Amino acid sequence: MGTVWRVRCAVPAAFDPEALRAAIVRRLAGLVAEMSHWQPDSRLSRFNRAPAGRWMKLPRDFATVIAAGLDIAARSGGAFDPAIGRLVDLWGFGPRPHARVPTDAQIAAGLAVSGWQRLAFDRAAGWLRQPGGVALDLSGIAKGYAVDAVARLLTGHGIAHALVEIGGECLGMGVRPDLDPWWVDIETPPDAGIAPLRVALHGLAVATSGDYVRGHHTLDPRTGHPARAVTSLSVLHPSAMIADAWASALTVLGPQAGAALATREGLAVRCVSRSGEGVREWLSPALAAMLA
């Protein structure tokens, strides 16, 4: 996934952390082998190369991510889209980075072979159809799913108190050994001039999208161009996968449309945006109620 993972957990004194570490590494390696667009032999890469009309049986993890991605694509009006790999490659945001800005003709051609609505997915059986030319890119949702998967693995090992983090996406379970919750500072642009926001991740995950760290790297699937209106947007949700995908979708939609959709969906969201009037912070009704 091109990033690092960390787990902090409370365990008995006789617990073997190395065995747990090995189990986490195996779990993450399995997810990468399924859904990485950086590995040419991953299941996702093989789907992207498949001929038109080919149906592929997806493993359970892959199928779960696709189902959630297609659901949020529909609910966001395509602001989140798991089928924009061609556009991601055009902009150099994928496994072959470059700084060239694609031409309008190249973007139009990329849009023509992209889009979640071109996919046919048999949810009950887990089969996904390649319509021809579609390239999946799950970087806006698979990392969150990996956080959830590691949390479930910890639970299976009898660990009820932990903080899991992969590339900035976090999920907290239980409490710390000192009985405090797992406090996490929501990412705040350092020059925004707004107060930091600290939240207790007790059965909650947080995912953040935006441009203040990596620049304008979140593509609007509807236009094929990077989204530029949001500086930082964080979503809190019991599932890191859902928080991850909604953070991408709401960043694409921008402050006004994103706020309307977050309110409609009952999502806990903090959005920081910039305009000619300066920096604006918006908290969704759901997040404001949580903080109260």
Q: Residue 206: which CATH number?
A: 3.10.520.10
Distance CA 63, CA 52 (A): 20
Residue 223 gets which letter from DSSP?
A: T
User: Would 273 be classed as within a structural domain?
Assistant: yes
Q: Is the pLDDT of residue 97 over 90?
A: no
Question: Given this model, what pLDDT does residue 216 score?
Answer: 59
Question: Given this model, what pLDDT does residue 219 score?
Answer: 93
Which helix or strand (DSSP H or E) is residue 48 part of?
helix 43-49
CB 202 within 8 A of CB 170: no
- Helix, strand or coil, per DSSP, at residue 87: helix
Total tally of structural domains belonging to the chain: 1
Percent of the chain exceeding pLDDT 90 equals 80
> What does pTM read for this prediction?
0.94
Distance CA 54, CA 104 (A): 30
pLDDT digit string, tens, across residues 3-34: 899 999 988 888 889 999 999 999 999 999 99
- Helix, strand or coil, per DSSP, at residue 5: strand
pLDDT digit string, tens, across residues 249-267: 999 999 999 999 999 999 9
Q: What angle do CA 145, 261, 182 make, to 5 degrees?
A: 45
Distance CA 91, CA 214 (A): 14
Nearest Cα to 214, choosing from 199, 231, 238?
231
Chain position carrying tokens 């993890």: 61
User: Would 84 be classed as within a structural domain?
Assistant: no
Question: Given this model, what pLDDT does residue 214 score?
Answer: 58
Binding residues for Mg(2+): 140, 244, 248
Which helix or strand (DSSP H or E) is residue 29 part of?
helix 17-35
Distance CA 107, CA 285 (A): 37
pLDDT digit string, tens, across residues 151-189: 999 999 999 999 999 999 999 999 999 999 999 998 887
User: Would 266 be classed as within a structural domain?
Assistant: yes
Binding residues: 140, 244, 248
User: Would 119 be classed as within a structural domain?
Assistant: no
pLDDT digit string, tens, across residues 132-147: 999 999 999 999 999 9
Structure tokens at 24: 């986490």
Residue 103 gets which letter from DSSP?
A: P
Within 8 A by CB and 6+ apart from 87, the residues are: 107, 110, 111, 114, 219, 221, 224
- Helix, strand or coil, per DSSP, at residue 23: helix
Question: Given this model, what pLDDT does residue 185 score?
Answer: 92
Chain position carrying tokens 């996702």: 44
- CA-based end-to-end distance of the chain: 36
User: Would 180 be classed as within a structural domain?
Assistant: yes
Q: Within 13 Å of residue 245, how many CA atoms lie on the same side as its CB?
A: 26
- Owning domain of residue 247: 169-291
Distance CA 38, CA 230 (A): 27
Q: Is the pLDDT of residue 213 over 60?
A: no
With b for 16 or more beta-carbon neighbours within 10 A and e for fewer, the 48-87 pattern comes to bebeeeeeeebeebbbbbbebbbebbebbebbbbbbbbbb
User: Would 138 be classed as within a structural domain?
Assistant: no
